[in-house]
A and B are shown apart, each in its own frame.
Chain A
Amino acid sequence: MSAVLTGGFADPAIQSAEAFRALLEAMARPGRIFTVAGAEPPAPLSVAAGVALLVLTDSTTPLHLAGDADCAAVRGWIAFHTGAPLVAAEAAQFAVGRWDDLCPVDRFRIGEPSYPDRSATLIVEMDRLEADGPRLTGPGIETEARLSLPETAVFQANRRLFPLGFDTILTCGERLAALPRSTRVEDR
């Protein structure tokens, strides 16, 4: 039970501000990897995923837990620290889990043509997050970036929906990177 009550920010205003700056820079500079700290969520959630959830979710943001992340420990931790309602993928504003568990990602909201912001943000737990792999170009990237994405075809399809589409935050341990829908992804 104590694991449910612990692991939040000790100094929420300051720690969430510093963590948000990392998230803001990550979303503004797709593919660049940032380190965050302050959350200690129960397994299987990573520190970075816990931080993203504490910074961004609350009782107004429907959350989907995918695969292993949908366990009693995580449910209790989310309920105590954020109060986010847990929902099915189709209704989620945020979702967290491993890529295989989040797939098929076409279940998630991509926004409406007149309100493209009403789309899901996926927090994808990765075994490995490095600056190599598929080539990224687009807003926020001066020339090109590279990031170890779980796959490319889905993100290419997501880019074709622009300005609709979901946005992705990739987490691994204490590190995170982001892939907004605006980024063009190429194999190579």
Chain B
Amino acid sequence: MKDYNFAYLDEQTKRMIRRALLKALAVPGYQVPFASREMPMPYGWGTGGVQVTAACLTPGDRLKVIDQGADDTTNAVSIRRFFQRTANVEVTERTAEATVIQTRHRIPEVPLTEGQILVYQVPIPEPLRFLEPRETETRKMHELEEYGLMHVKLYEDIARHGEIATSYAYPVKVEGRYVMDPSPIPKFDNPRLGGNPAIQLFGAGREARIYALPPYSEVVSLDFEDHPFVASKADHCCDLCGSGRSYLDEVITDDQGSRMFVCSDTDYCASRQAEGHRGRLSPERVA
């Protein structure tokens, strides 16, 4: 690997990102501005996550990259290859064997452990952005802990739909201080944000923000006493591994309205199938 510096970024850039990461851990949930770099991939492809991962990787790491839970989708494959090529690190699809996991929009089903780092790719880091487009105003709102507007938004959900209709990027409050966007993970994953033994780092490349959750942080999904937070998922079992506890993707299988539900976490699903678990549409059952 003589063509690139280790993990692609130059050392000056890594120091800048590393300083931002330490401040992000010191103030959980606060978005630290950083001098986001152009990466050899377009914005929206995880440039923030890639920069955070590059600043954290060591040669001894084993990297896993997932996109919506899957190891084998375009985004995951291209980022995994990027780090194989520029950092020459080992890669894996097994959650338990990975030391650094870069993720787009999911938390793995298998519980994380100490020593692991989960790096989220974040499109819009500001939870208040769709309610207040001005950065000057949202910064003031965080400063003053003025989060009433977010509760109004959740209340309007209830008034309109009878329940809190926000199903992903569900806002959370960190350590009783900052309201944070957990990135567009399904709200099913929200309970795993808090009390997690792993370090969780969030990188938004286009928006140039880094934030973090230290291990075992207190993370509360916003709700109301009479409309408590519910971590919902499709009311089915996985059609391949039969799991009733994992987050499911709905897949249209023909033009007659047929569909199937499968685990969004491909490693979890494949591991269960290898252990002999079977679902409604497992090949041997259908045949």
Q: What are the interface flags for B18-56 relative to A under an 8 Å C-beta threshold, 1 for contact and 0 otherwise?
A: 111111111110101100000000000000000000011
- Chain A residue numbers with a CB within 8 Å of B56 are 17, 20-21, 24
**A114 in contact with B140 (CB, 8 Å):** yes
Instruction: Indicate if the CB atoms of A117 and B27 lie closer than 8 Å.
Output: yes
Instruction: Judge whether B215 and A21 touch: CB under 8 Å.
Output: no
Tell whether A167 pairs with B22 under 8 Å between CB atoms, given A13-B6, A20-B55, A139-B218. Answer: yes
Q: Closest residue to B200 on the A side, CB-wise?
A: A28
Query: Which one, B22, B58, B139, B175, contacts A139 given CB within 8 A?
Result: B175
Main secondary structure, interface of A, reads: mixed
Report how far A56 CA is from B6 CA in the complex, Å: 17
A27's partner among B7, B26, B218 (CB-CB below 8 A) is B26
Docked Cα-Cα span, A89 to B16, in Å, equals 21
Q: Are B26 and A167 in contact (CB under 8 A)?
A: yes
Pair B30/A117 contact, Cβ less than 8 Å: yes
Q: Say yes or no: A27 contacts B25, CB within 8 Å.
A: yes
Per the 8 Å Cβ criterion, residues 131-148 of A in contact with B are: 138-142
Q: Which of A23, A28, A56 has the most CB of B within 10 A?
A: A28
CA distance in complex: A142, B197 (Å): 8
Cβ-defined partner of A117 (8 Å) among B23, B57, B139, B199: B23
> Which B residues are CB-close (under 8 A) to A182?
26-28, 175, 214
One of B7, B15, B117, B213 near A58 (C-beta < 8 A): B15
Distance A141 CA – B114 CA, assembled complex (angstroms): 12
Residues of chain A within 8 A of B236, CB atoms compared? none
> From residue 150 to 185 of chain B, which have CB atoms closer than 8 A to chain A?
175, 177-178
Q: How many chain-B residues does the 8 Å CB contact rule pick out?
A: 45
Which B residues lie within 8 Å of A12 (CB)? Answer: 11
Q: Is A16 a contact partner of B33 (Cβ separation < 8 A)? A: no
Q: Is A60 an interface residue (CB 8 A)?
A: yes
Chain B CB count within 10 A is highest, among A116, A117, A121, for A117
What's the least CB distance linking B17 to chain A, in Å? Answer: 10
Interfacial chain A residues near B142, Cβ < 8 Å: 114
Measured in the bound complex, the distance between the Cα atoms of B59 and A29 in whole Å is: 22
Which chain A residues (61-117) contact chain B, with CB distance < 8 Å? 61, 113-117
Question: Does the CB pair B178–A163 fall under 8 Å?
Answer: yes
Q: Tell yes or no: B90 within 8 A of A by CB.
A: no
Contact A17 B6, beta carbon cutoff 8 Å: yes
Instruction: Determine the residue in chain B with the shortest Cβ distance to A25.
Output: B199
A24 touches B22 (CB 8 A): yes
Give Cα A85 to B94, complex, Å: 45
Chain B residues with CB under 8 A of A162 = 27, 177
Closest 10 CB pairs of A and B: A140-B214, A180-B26, A13-B6, A117-B23, A139-B214, A114-B143, A117-B32, A167-B26, A17-B58, A28-B214
Residues of A within 8 A of B (CB): 12-14, 16-18, 20-21, 23-25, 27-29, 55-58, 60-61, 113-117, 119, 121, 138-142, 162-163, 167, 180-182
What are 15 A-B residue pairs whose CB atoms fall within 8 Å in the complex?
A: A13-B5, A13-B7, A23-B22, A24-B56, A24-B199, A28-B215, A58-B15, A116-B27, A117-B20, A117-B24, A139-B216, A140-B216, A162-B27, A163-B177, A163-B178
List residues of B whose CB falls within 8 A of some A CB.
5-7, 11-12, 14-16, 18-28, 30, 32-33, 55-60, 117, 139-140, 142-143, 175, 177-178, 197, 199, 212-218
